[in-house]
Structure 1
């Protein structure tokens, strides 16, 4: 029982870190898209 619970906790930690990483990557992608959009609008003007 003890080993099983520790394995479950480890899985939870891995999943949470993965989800945080994906969240950060999506934020970075959105920021990059915003920057590209701003640069294009400045170039057009």
Structure 2
């Protein structure tokens, strides 16, 4: 598994894994519990 790179947006903190996909805390399969979104649920693509 690749090392997670932290990326900060204006209001949300997400972790970047598996290329350009961003996963929220709800998706623990790819994201550690330390990764979470402040106001947005689910996951995004770049």
TM bucket by the smaller chain?
under 0.3
TM-score, normalised via structure 2 length:
0.16
Task: Compare relative contact order (CA 8 Å, sep 6+) and give the higher one, 1 or 2.
Answer: 2
Higher strand share: 2
TM-score, normalised via structure 1 length:
0.16
Please tell me whether Structure 1 or Structure 2 has the larger radius of gyration of its CA atoms: 1
Higher helix share: 1
